[in-house]
């Protein structure tokens, strides 16, 4: 059975969708079977995967409303290497409808049961709020990856999210854990960023990823082309960072990388020159 990871932070603009798309592509590059679930009505993960969110026959809204199954909604991110459960603004209707459902917080988990064995990783892109959609993601997931900028309000927001995770663990999803804290849009020339990064490492020494995602122009440009950054510019600092993150996750899960994965990630790093 594959692992399901929710990528969540109630604060917007911290790199959740960027992380979801680029981690999916980086893991797919190591021949892992990946499903990206877009659970944000903005549909940015859908667009960033090369799909037109305004021209979708079925979306995650239909899934949550029991109007279609996973297999009917699945689309392939052609040329990128992973599958997508796409979303658009229709998803807002599903959130409202879920409020009146008996098992509203378990809906996504139940929907994904039929495909969990078909993927090595299922990544869920959450909306930038602690709403019913995010709750569904946290109940469906085994762990939560938290992207965050190293800025003044980051630790306060992190505390609120960790409290929510604890609450869900104690009520409906006892296996839920923090996958890791990912420092994004990091500029080492910024003293405040370095200070907050140090505090994160001090308070969460086992949960902060060694990989740091830098501020990078190519990383910001890639979504406008409907591509992950490794497909847009594989030698960019942003691409290398997400490949490194994929490697860190695989090493943690498997106790080391096989020769195939090491060659793929090493060759990509070697192209940075």
pLDDT for the residue numbered 270: 43
Q: Which residues contact 247 (CB under 8 A, 6 or more apart)?
A: 257, 261, 265
Q: 175-210 burial string, b = 16+ CB within 10 Å, else e?
A: ebebbbbbbbbbeeeeeebeebbeebeeeeeeebbe
pLDDT for the residue numbered 260: 56
Residue pointed to by tokens 């890791």: 180
Q: 64-98 burial string, b = 16+ CB within 10 Å, else e?
A: bbeebebeebebebeebbbbbbbbbebbeebbebb
pLDDT for the residue numbered 271: 40
**Which helix or strand (DSSP H or E) is residue 149 part of?**
strand 143-149
The low-confidence residues of the chain, meaning pLDDT below 70, are 1, 255-273
pLDDT for the residue numbered 256: 53
pLDDT for the residue numbered 1: 67
């Amino acid at each position: 059975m594959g692992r399901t990871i929710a990528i969540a932070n109630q604060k917007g603009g911290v790199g959740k969708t960027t992380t979801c798309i680029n981690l999916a592509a980086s893991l797919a590059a190591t021949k892992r079977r990946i499903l990206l679930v877009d659970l944000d009505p903005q549909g940015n993960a859908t667009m960033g995967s090369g799909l037109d969110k305004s021209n979708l026959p079925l979306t995650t809204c239909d899934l949550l409303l029991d109007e279609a199954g996973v297999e009917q909604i699945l689309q392939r991110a052609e040329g990128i290497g992973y599958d997508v459960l796409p979303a658009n603004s229709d998803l807002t209707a599903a959130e409202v409808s879920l409020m009146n459902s008996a098992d509203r917080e378990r809906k996504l988990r139940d929907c994904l049961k039929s495909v969990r064995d078909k993927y090595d990783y299922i990544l869920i892109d959450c909306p930038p709020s602690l709403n019913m959609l995010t709750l569904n993601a946290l109940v469906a997931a085994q762990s939560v990856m938290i992207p965050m900028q190293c800025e003044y309000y980051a630790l306060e927001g992190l505390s609120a999210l960790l409290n929510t995770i604890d609450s869900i663990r104690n009520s409906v999803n006892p296996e839920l854990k923090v996958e890791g804290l990912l420092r994004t849009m990091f500029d080492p020339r910024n003293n405040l960023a370095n200070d907050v990064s140090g505090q994160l490492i001090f308070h969460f020494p086992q949960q902060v990823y060694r990989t740091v995602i830098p501020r990078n122009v190519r990383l910001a440009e890639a979504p406008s082309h409907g591509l992950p950054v490794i497909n847009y510019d594989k030698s960019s600092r942003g691409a290398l960072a997400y490949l490194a993150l994929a490697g860190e996750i695989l090493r943690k899960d498997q106790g080391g990388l096989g020769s195939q994965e090491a060659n793929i990630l090493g060759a990509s790093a070697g192209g940075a020159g």
